[in-house]
Amino acid sequence: MFNKTTLPNGIRIVTESLLHSQVVSVGVWIDVGSRDEHDLNNGSAHFVEHMLFKGTKNRTAQNIAREFDVLGGSANAFTTRENTCLHATVLDSNLPKLVELFADLLGNSLFADEEIERERQVILQEINMVEDMPDDHIHDLFAGLLWPKHPLGKTILGSHEIVSAMDSKKLQEYVQKYYTADKIVIAAAGKVDHDDFVSLWQNGFEKFGQESGPVLERNEAPLLPASSKIYTKPLEQAHILLGTYGLSVVDADRFEYMLLNVILGGNMSSRLFQEIREKRGLAYSIYSYIDSYSDCGYLAIYLGVDKASVNESLSLIASEISTLQNTVVPEEELLNTKNFVKSGMFLSMENMEAIMTRIARNEIYFGKYISLEEVVDSIDHVTGKDILRLADKIFGRQELTFAGLGPLEKAGIDWKS
The verdict on whether 16 is a catalytic residue reads: no
Nearest partner of 94 among 58, 66, 70, judged by Cα: 70
Q: Are strands 184-190 and 12-17 parallel, antiparallel or unpaired?
A: parallel
* Whole-Å CA distances, 185 to 43, 74, 148, 182, 322: 22, 20, 30, 8, 42
Integer Cα distance of 391 and 100 in angstroms: 48
- With the C-alpha atoms ordered 257, 259, 262, 263, is the resulting torsion angle positive or negative? negative
Instruction: From the candidates 16, 49, 320, 353, give the one annotated as an active-site residue.
Output: 49
Nearest partner of 265 among 243, 235, 281, 239, judged by Cα: 243
Where b means 16+ CB within 10 Å and e means fewer, 218-241 reads beebeebebeeebeeeeeebbbbb
Nearest partner of 260 among 383, 391, 374, judged by Cα: 391
DSSP letter assigned to residue 282: -
Contact predicate 404/230, CB 8 Å = yes
CA 354 to chain centre: 14
Residue numbers annotated as active site: 49
